[in-house]
Amino acid sequence: MKLATIRTADGTRAVRLDGDHLVDLGYADLGELFAEADWRTRAAASGARHPVEGADFAPVVPNPSKIICVGHNYTNHIKEMGRNLPDYPTLFPKFADTLLGAHDDIAKPAETDALDWEVELAVVIGTAVRRADERQAADAIAGFTVMNDISARDWQFRTIEWTQGKIWEASTPVGPYVVTPDEVGGVRPALAVRTVVDGQVMQRDDTGTLLFDPVFLVRYISTIVTLRPGDIIATGTPAGVGNARDPKVFLRPGNTVVTEISGLGTCTNKVVEA
């Protein structure tokens, strides 16, 4: 299934893709849907239909209880940043206020001149888990979506701790769909990922090369804290970020940045003045 949250005149709605229409599932958003123990059954329900064409996609889960991001998780990206392969995942948080819809504009903050792109496979949790074993971790994955972990590099590297460069308000497109594992080859999918800026390919890789795969990350993170329905894990970005180029290249107003993952969909966002 491909599931989404869309904005309508009556508020946001959780929907399922059915051909060229989106079927209303009776919930305000996917976070509400995933909170139901039998959400998979409920996601097959029939309801009002909205055309896909012209749909206004909200963040797939507008208000997750937590967003955990992983750094240094593609071998090529680690090497381009001049670092050694890590023994454990590098984790940092985001907040719901950072999220954008898949086609929303990205307003470049006036405070940064180093706005960078990062295409990421994002895991969406469908079942609460703590200290998950292999089976529990796999079962907890509702599906996958696309995230663009937009980063203010000048703020990120002010200190050895990255968070301040990663949590700018309304900076992180996520969506348009949450795609269930059965549609993409399971809970450890090997999917082509890429970023295109104004028609130029900047990043290209395959999620099969992740150092720490989605099941491992659910197990690892749930050891630390309970993962709840609707929570998001961003699994890291491959080589090709603007900060690692010579000379460095950053996003400017007027740019269009496209982040896409095969089988999941595309975030297409125009960069505008704040």
CATH number where 205 lies: 3.90.850.10
Q: Same domain, yes or no, for 18 and 101?
A: no
Are 54 and 183 found together in one domain? no
Same domain, residue pair 65 and 34: no
- Considering the domain architecture, whether residues 182 and 223 belong to the same structural domain is answered as yes
The predicted structure's pLDDT at residue 46:
92
Same-domain status, 99 and 133: yes
Out of 32, 58, 84, a domain closes at 58
What average pLDDT does the segment 5-20 reach?
A: 97
Model confidence at 111: pLDDT above 80: yes
Which of 204, 194, 139, 166 minimizes the C-alpha distance to 70?
166
* pLDDT tens sequence across 50-74: 999 999 999 999 999 999 999 889 8
CATH number of the domain where residue 35 is located: 2.30.30
DSSP run (H or E) holding 195: strand 192-197
Q: What percent of the chain has pLDDT over 70?
A: 99
Give the DSSP letter string of 106-127.
Answer: EEE-TT-S-EE--EEEEEEE-S
Statement: residue 128 has pLDDT above 90: yes
Please give the pLDDT value at position 173: 98
Q: pLDDT: is 85 or 100 the higher one? A: 100
Residues 54 and 66 reside in one and the same domain:
no
Work out how many domains the chain is built from and give that number: 2
pLDDT of 172: 98
Residue the block writes with tokens 């990205």: 106
pLDDT tens readout for residues 74-94: 887 777 667 788 899 999 999
Clarify whether residues 161 and 105 are in a common domain: yes
Q: What share of the chain is helix, strand, coil (3-state, %, to 5)?
A: 20, 35, 45
Domain of 53 in residue numbering reads as 1-58
**8 A C-beta contact, residue 110 and residue 117:** no
pLDDT digit string, tens, across residues 173-225: 999 999 999 999 999 999 999 999 999 999 999 999 999 999 999 999 999 99
Q: Based on the domain organization, do 22 and 69 belong to the same domain?
A: no
Q: Does residue 109 sit in the same domain as residue 167?
A: yes
* CA distances, 209 to each of 57, 205, 236, 237 (Å): 29, 8, 11, 11
